[in-house]
Structure formats: C-alpha cells, structure tokens
Copies of this chain bind each other. A is one copy, B any other.
Amino acid sequence: MDTFRTIEVKRSIFDNNDRQAGELRQRLKKEKVFLLNLMSSPGAGKTTTLTRTIEALSNELKIGVMEADIDSDVDARSIEKTGVKVIQLHTGGMCHLDADMTRQGLEAMGTENIDLAVLENVGNLVCPAEFDTGAVKNVMILSVPEGDDKPLKYPLMFSVCDVVLINKVDVLPYFDFDLEKCKEYINKRNPRALVFAISAKTGEGVEEWADWLRREVAQWQKD
C-alpha cells in the first residue's frame, strides 16, 4: 500500500504570481522551511539525484518532497522508499507549477518540522523557468546525453538557476559532450550560477552538491 497521497493542484486564480511567490517565501522563512525548486528536461535524472541527496542529508535534516507530474506516480513511489515524507502533485495537464500551486502542495504535504522541502517540477526546460514558485533556490539538472548546447537553446532556464547540476557524467565517454564548453555556455547565460558535475547513478560529485545544500539550509534557518 502506498503511504503517500496524490492531490490535484489547481491552476492559480491570482494574476500576480510574483507577489504570491514573495509571500510564500516570507512564510517559509518564518517557519524555517527551505524550499528547493528542482527543474530539468524529462529524464535528466531529477528523482535519482533527489534520492542520492536524501541519502546524503536525511540524517541531519527533516526532508519533505513534492513530486509534480502531469500523470503517474512512479516518482513518488521511488522517493517513498527513502523513508522521507512525500506527496504526489498532479497538475491537470499544466507544464509547470506557479507559487499558488506550490503553496497547495506544501499545505497538503504539511511543513511542520520540515527543514528542507523539495519541489520536483514537471520535466520541461521552458515553462517552469517562467514562474517563481516561492522557492529559496532554483536548481536545474542538465544531463550529459542531452548535449552541451542546451544553455544556448534554453536561455531563461539557465538564467534563473542558482545551481546547475551536470548529471550522468559516468556516460561521458559515450557521448560528444564537452564539459568545459558547457560550463562556458552556462557562465555566459548566468555568471553567478554554480556548476557541479555529478553522477546520481554512481554517486560521483554528490557529496559536494549536498554540502552546498546543507550550508544553504543552515543559513536560511539561522538568519
């Protein structure tokens, strides 16, 4: 039997998403909840990366995960196995989450005693970048098989991200992917973005990324 619930989040009735996002962030600040918005293309490895991140941090932090999808609950089932709190959000066909949809998810999940709440956004490099979800930090995953030219093609996504995780570096030998060139393209779009090269499959590089996240959560809860 699944231990997680699935809820339908409704399209926001508010026309000022930025204001809703700002209010949500203020509320999370007061509750000492760090909200991470995790974005990527379909299949870049959001759920596997999240599983590895949970493994690295769940001894120290109380973690809650919102899995947003148009349909299915395969990701919530995967996250459930890590033992953290998880809820499946269905977006009714919507290709992204806005701040009010995120609020609906957080309230359905419950944020009492949660240090780190993660929103796994719908797999898409376009629309999710256009909506502030109220997250403290935006992180996107670019996987090696997608190619090193993606920062050129999806400028907004790379511009709004605080961190870019280059995932699946274990398969670098089998693809024409130039890691240095990719970092250059990312830097061109967003000079302040941090880049970590990881393999969620083998665990390579995950500790460095988890260290960054650990420090950010501590900072958010302290200030």
Contact = CB atoms under 8 A, between A and B. Distances in A.
Interface string A154-177: 111000000000001011001100
A43 B95 contact: no
Contacts of A154: 42, 70-71, 123
A127 B127 contact: yes
A153 B41 contact: no
Nearest to A72: B152
A152 to B, nearest CB: 4
A70 B147 CA distance: 16
B153 A70 contact: yes
Chain copies in the assembly?
2
Interface in A166-222: 168, 170-171, 174-175
A127 B74 CA distance: 21
A73 to B, nearest CB: 9
A187 B188 CA distance: 42
Contact of A149 (B74, B127, B152): B74
A133 interface: no
A134 B124 CA distance: 24
Closest 10 A/B residue pairs (Cβ)? A43-B146, A145-B145, A95-B126, A72-B152, A41-B42, A43-B147, A41-B41, A72-B153, A71-B155, A42-B125
25 contacts: A42-B125, A42-B146, A43-B146, A43-B147, A70-B153, A70-B154, A70-B155, A71-B152, A71-B153, A71-B154, A71-B155, A72-B149, A72-B152, A74-B149, A93-B156, A95-B95, A95-B126, A123-B154, A144-B145, A145-B146, A145-B168, A171-B171, A171-B174, A171-B175, A174-B174
